[in-house]
Structure 1
Amino acid sequence: MIGLVLAAGAGRRLRPYTDTLPKALVPVDPAGEGTTTVLDIALGNFAAVGLTEAAVVVGYRKEAVYARRAELEDRYGLRITLVDNDRAEEWNNAYSLWCARDVLAEGVILANGDTVHPVSVEQDLLKARGGGRRVILALDTVKTLADEEMKVVCDGSAVRRITKLMDPADATGEYIGVTLIEPEAAADLADALKATYERDPQLYYEDGYQELVNRGFTVDTAPIGDVPWVEIDNHDDLAKGRAIACQY
């Protein structure tokens, strides 16, 4: 199993940082000097749970990630492969994850390149393995939800519905952007992602998860408990991310 980070996004609401950097390389260290980024946190978490390889899907300002690859490999003891997304500035992340379809065949822990979260999330996903589970989503069942969150309705631990477009009161919890994907799920997931972006290139990879569910594939969840995390979309989120990142 290897780590996988989606880091192709532009993050335009984080300008001026993202004038020259992809969202995953925006500084989250308290001083804003770039000593810690979301990509650093994800790679550090992978190393902490014993992974030795990682892949990063790059697109917007990918040269910044290429420039840091050797440093990141040395810092985290990981062999890092970069996967190019040729449509990162045109299409949404269903296509971005599909670009990593060959990596999925290795079995991955997937982390979004804008989610600041503790290593306990990866640890909880690894503990949830077994019992025929092939795709396991990290789920926050504690947070009070609003319209923008990626909401999930579960039947037991199995996903019945995943979308932003539902009444928050109907949701079991929020998907935080971290998933364990077993090798046995790779072909099914890649096919579902392809169907998703071909239907609408602006769809999310979570819509690919819904496509899997619609096809009768069981997508499971693992609750992460009451832990500090944030998805960084704008400068308010970035301030929260910096306050959280310094706790790790």
Structure 2
Amino acid sequence: MIGLVLAAGAGRRLRPYTDTLPKALVPVGPEGDEESQTVLDIALANFAAVGLTDVAVVVGYRKEAVYERKEELEQKHGVKLTLVDNDKAEEWNNAYSLWCARDVIKQGALLANGDTVHPVSVEKTLLDARGNGQKIILALDTVKNLDEEEMKVVTDPEKGVQQITKLMDPSTASGEYIGLTLIEPEAAEELADALKTTFERDPQLYYEDGYQELVNRGFKIDVAPIGDVQWVEIDNHEDLAKGREIACRY
């Protein structure tokens, strides 16, 4: 199994940082030392901590910044990086971005979005949840109060995920998908096909819409509740401020 980070996004709401950097390289270090840590650093450190030292990173927008730091990141975190180019990062959404990594996920992958600040306990939760025939396991926050923007999930105790979308009444959701997924090798081909169907239907769809395509086909997707954990998806400067507070704790 490898680590996998989606780091192709532009993150335009985080300008001026993202005028020259992809969102995953926006600094989240402590005040006065913001450059010491990025979202990508957190993901790589977490992967290394659970023994995943082979990591693929899907790059696109401002990818040269990741290429320039590749050797430094490898040395800092003790990992080997494979960079996967997304040639449509500024045009299409992330269903295509994950599909670009279709060959590497054949090894099995622990996927982390490149804009999620979270503790290594999430990776440990997903890895500990393996072993009962699950093929895909989503990290689910069942504690947080949900709003309109969150990627919400409805689950069934026996059938797993039934619905995953931002477009649902928050009161009907079982929890929020936080942007981390464990993908077993056996799921790789079916997932790649579902992602292709998804972005061919609409290039602006999310990879979570690919998960919904799988569910609609009868594929079981499981969840692993992460407990009462502090984390944040960084979309704007308010999220960034929260991310810096959280990153200092782990």
Give the alignment's TM-score, normalised by structure 1: 0.99
The Cα RMSD (Å) is 0.7
Aligned to 1:19: 19
Aligned residue number for residue 186 of structure 2: 184
Cα distance in 2 for residues equivalent to 1:152 and 1:34: 34
Displacement after TM superposition at 1:44 (Å): 0.3
For the residue of structure 2 that corresponds to 1:80, the secondary structure is strand
2:233 maps to what in 1?
231
C-alpha distance in 2 between matches for 1:127 and 1:220: 13
Query: In the aligned structure 1, how far is the partner of 2:94 from the partner of 2:225?
Result: 24
Moved more, 24-33 or 48-57: 24-33
Q: Which residue of 2 aligns with 1:68?
A: 69
CA distance in 2, matches of 1:188, 1:18: 34
Q: Which runs of 5+ in 1 are unaligned?
A: none
SS at match of 2:88: coil
SS of corresponding position for 1:189: helix
CA distance in 2, matches of 1:113, 1:156: 29
Render the CA deviation track for 1:13-55: whole Å, top value 9, x for unaligned. 0000000000000000023532101100000000000112000
2:202 matched to which residue of 1?
Answer: 200
Counterpart of 2:94 in structure 1: which amino acid? N
**One-letter identity of the residue aligned with 2:208:** E
**4+ residue segments displaced more than 2 Å:** none
C-alpha separation in 2, matches of 1:34 and 1:94: 30
Structure-1 residue corresponding to 2:174: 172
Query: Are 2:140 and 1:104 equivalent residues in the alignment?
Result: no
1:213-224 paired onto structure 2 within 5 Å: 213-224=215-226
* Percent identity of paired positions between Structure 1 and Structure 2: 78
Contact 1:48 1:119 (C-alpha < 8 Å) held by counterparts: yes
Equivalent residue number for residue 28 of structure 2: 28
Superposed, 1:74-153 pairs within 5 Å as 74-153=75-154
Quick check: 1:39–1:113 contact (8 Å CA) kept in 2? yes
Q: Does 2:9 correspond to 1:3? A: no
Distance in 1 between the 2:226 and 2:205 partners?
A: 26
Shift of 1:188: 0.3
Secondary structure in 2 matching 1:241: helix
- The count of aligned residue pairs is 248
Query: For residue 233 of structure 2, what is the amino acid of its counterpart?
Result: E
- What is the rounded CA distance, in whole Å, between the counterparts of 1:34 and 1:12 in structure 2? 19
For the residue of structure 2 that corresponds to 1:225, the secondary structure is coil
Can you give the 5+ residue segments of structure 2 that lack an aligned partner in the other structure? none
How far, CA to CA, are the matches of 2:126 and 2:43 in structure 1?
A: 14
Q: Distance in 1 between matches of 2:221 and 2:179?
A: 14
Q: What is the identity, as a one-letter code, of the residue corresponding to 1:171?
A: A
With the length of structure 2 as denominator, give the TM-score of the two structures: 0.98
* Displacement of 1:156: 1.1
